[in-house]
Structure 1
């Protein structure tokens, strides 16, 4: 049965709820911008994220999912598409028989380098509207929120 009580938020809880909503809105805009940056190269924001994660060394799909805060199944679908399109390959994982490692192929590295060039122009344009100190402070706060959420089960 659903409660009929009106929820009471502390000032901090109310501020966090507003921050969470703003981050969700920002996420939508960032995904759309990422899709626009990568579309001319036949990619998407999701593919870009997985390419970028795999560029730091061969990782399993589960490891990439943890790094990106995404579902393993979602990353698996994207990784399979990257392999099909010749941007990445699966390699044996000496630590786990079934969890293969995703490794970028030269074509994937080239695509990622081009995406990063396009992204640099875009982030420089957006970034000049803010102070670097403010952005560093917000990043620090968001990372603290991510750490808190990763440790707190909402149920």
Structure 2
């Protein structure tokens, strides 16, 4: 019997690719990209710094900064003063940004009903729980496996 973890990892990557393609389709119908949709969603409530949004999305801050700047230029977001960090403003959606996010979310909700047809809520909840455990345990392993800065500098 093959080890199930490598097969699960391959399935997760395949599912992620399918979900990215569906996300591009949904966001594109509203004139956005999936990356813009993800950022709008993350900063919709509450507003967040680009660095915090990047950590949440697991992407590089520099790439997300460019997307944030474009959202601001398009009137979908604005930078606000951050009371906790003078040099790291908060990114917040404008009313137009909330409308755009709402339109994409409505499309996604309709698509999700079709996508999950035949999959029980219990199966979805169990899948989420296992993925969350796998993610936590993987992150724990990564932290433990990284050489400490002290060890690395010796």
Q: What's the TM-score, normalizing by structure 2?
A: 0.87
Q: Which runs of 5+ in 1 are unaligned?
A: 1-10
Shift of 1:129: 2.4
Whether 2:82 is the aligned partner of 1:115: answer: no
The alignment of Structure 1 onto Structure 2 pairs a total of residues equal to 144
Match for 2:121 among 110, 115, 132? 132
Match for 1:76 among 57, 62, 65? 65
CA distance in 2, matches of 1:20, 1:105: 38
Match for 2:41 among 52, 56, 71? 52
Match for 1:32 among 21, 35, 48? 21
Deviates most, 130-139 or 72-81: 72-81
Partner-residue secondary structure (3-state), 1:90 = strand
Partner-residue secondary structure (3-state), 1:99 = coil
Shift of 1:17: 1.7
Q: What's the TM-score, normalizing by structure 1?
A: 0.87
Q: Which structure has the highest strand share of the two?
A: 1
Shift of 1:36: 0.6
CA distance in 2, matches of 1:113, 1:56: 13
Offset from partner CA, 1:65-108 (integer Å, 9 cap, x none): 12222222222121111111110011111111111100000000
> Which ranges of 4 or more aligned residues in structure 1 deviate by more than 6 Å?
none
Match for 1:150 among 117, 139, 143? 139
Shift of 1:33: 0.5
Q: Which runs of 5+ in 2 are unaligned?
A: 147-154
Partner-residue secondary structure (3-state), 1:36 = helix
Whether 2:1 is the aligned partner of 1:15: answer: no
